Amino acid sequence: MSDLIPITPTYGLLLGRGVLERVPEVVPHSATRVLLVHAPVMLDAASRLAEALRAGGREVFVEELPDAEAAKTADVLVRLWSVLGQAGFTRTDVVVALGGGATTDLGGFVAASWLRGVPVVQVPTSLLGMVDAAVGGKTGINTPEGKNLVGAFHEPTAVVCDLDLLRTLPRRDLVAGTAEVIKCGFIADPRILELLDADPDAALNVDGEVLPELVRRAIRVKADVVSVDLKESSLREILNYGHTFAHAIEQVEHYSWRHGDAVAVGMVYVAELSRRAGLIDQQLVDEHRRLLRLVGLPTSYTGGRWADLLTAMSRDKKTRGATLRFVALTGIAQPTRLESPDPQWLEEAFAAVSTER
């Protein structure tokens, strides 16, 4: 398909309005069976997609998942393995994941783990899913000890992003998704920040032209990174800007926080930490807060529990032994790594995000 945006040499992404109907085009021709997993709110879209896939002569098994992070559990994974086993899925059959980031994370891991890897087509329906979760081949589930600690790298056959599906999102979820877009602006593409600063309302208008441009730019940032570092051996770590503290919040709050909200606070936290390490000045810290607030994202965490948060951060995937590592900045679009920061800086940064400024 000539209009696929290349992500890596092995797969591409279809982005546009009304492209859900084109999912059967990217399902491998060899697939005779399809497991279609979907978020609860995607029931109608899943029914339409299932009929389109059946029209091509495929046998389609439709499974509704629990909502959001509740889908990313071992119990749900085992249930889906049972469906695949009873249906006789082979290595040429395919999983299609229709939903937000939690759905695509789980769907990808189901595909990665069945028969040591079957094809998966990702169909993200949230802003977060389109710019982050569904792109790049990361898959996984959560455990009581942390987020995404069990998973695999498994590239999809294709990613299909239908911008019309963003209309199904509650505004609060759309706002939360912009955190990952803003992250891409801070680590790689300052134009993202300029567009958002110029017209925050347009950045949240699903029917306008600014939001699609922001989506394209954020996807391009991630594609440029994963095309050279699929398995997070070096460069790909920059995509985790703000995520170390964010994942700690999510775990401590038992995944009741939206991922994007946690990432927004996580970016402010690491900015405060970076200032104390002498990497950036106070002006850039303030710019984090200002831009995040423009779209209605939180910039503080008032839940306390510093000891629990520190323990959670010590289990982060970027940690090596006893060494805490953070993606940091030395300036906009100038990411770096901050290792073993002074414990006093860690606690001072936490104090700084514990009160609204």
Active site residues: 116, 138, 180, 222, 232, 236, 240, 243, 247, 259
Q: Is 271 annotated as a binding residue?
A: no
Query: What is the DSSP track for 248-284?
Result: HHHHHTTT-S-HHHHHHHHHHHHHHHHHHTTSS-HHH
Q: Is 254 annotated as a binding residue?
A: no
Q: Is 67 annotated as a binding residue?
A: yes
**Chain Cα centroid distance, residue 220:** 14
Q: Is 180 annotated as a binding residue?
A: yes
Reduced to 3 states, what is the DSSP secondary structure of residue 329? Answer: strand
Q: Is 90 annotated as a binding residue?
A: no
Q: Is 168 annotated as a binding residue?
A: no
* Amino acid in the structure at residue 216: R
Q: Is 126 annotated as a binding residue?
A: yes
- The Cα 115–Cα 118 span in angstroms is 7
Q: Is 138 annotated as a binding residue?
A: yes
Beta bridge partners of 34: 60, 94
Q: Is 197 annotated as a binding residue?
A: no
Alpha carbon dihedral 119, 125, 127, 131, in 10-degree steps, equals: 10
Q: Is 277 annotated as a binding residue?
A: no
Contacts of 217 (CB under 8 A, 6+ apart): 181, 184, 189, 191, 192
184 Ramachandran zone, left/alpha/beta (phi>0; psi -120 to 50): alpha
Q: Is 70 annotated as a binding residue?
A: yes
Q: Is 101 annotated as a binding residue?
A: yes
Q: Do the Cβ atoms of 193 and 332 come closer than 8 Å? A: yes
Q: Is 97 annotated as a binding residue?
A: no
State which H helix or E strand residue 85 sits in. helix 74-87
Cα-based distances in Å from 195 to 96, 181, 201, 212: 33, 11, 11, 11
Nearest to 343 by CA among 300, 314, 304: 314
Nearest to 2 by CA among 26, 21, 29: 26
**Chain Cα centroid distance, residue 78:** 23
Burial class (CB in 10 A: 0-12, 13-18, 19+), 274: buried
Nearest to 180 by CA among 139, 233, 240, 231: 240
Q: Is 259 annotated as a binding residue?
A: yes
Q: Is 318 annotated as a binding residue?
A: no
Query: What is the DSSP track for 97-136?
Result: EEESHHHHHHHHHHHHHGGG---EEEEE-SHHIIIIITSS
Binding site per annotation, positions for Zn(2+): 180, 243, 259
Which residues are part of a known binding site for NAD(+)? 67-72, 101-105, 125-126, 138, 147
Known binding-site residues equal 67-72, 101-105, 125-126, 138, 147, 180, 243, 259
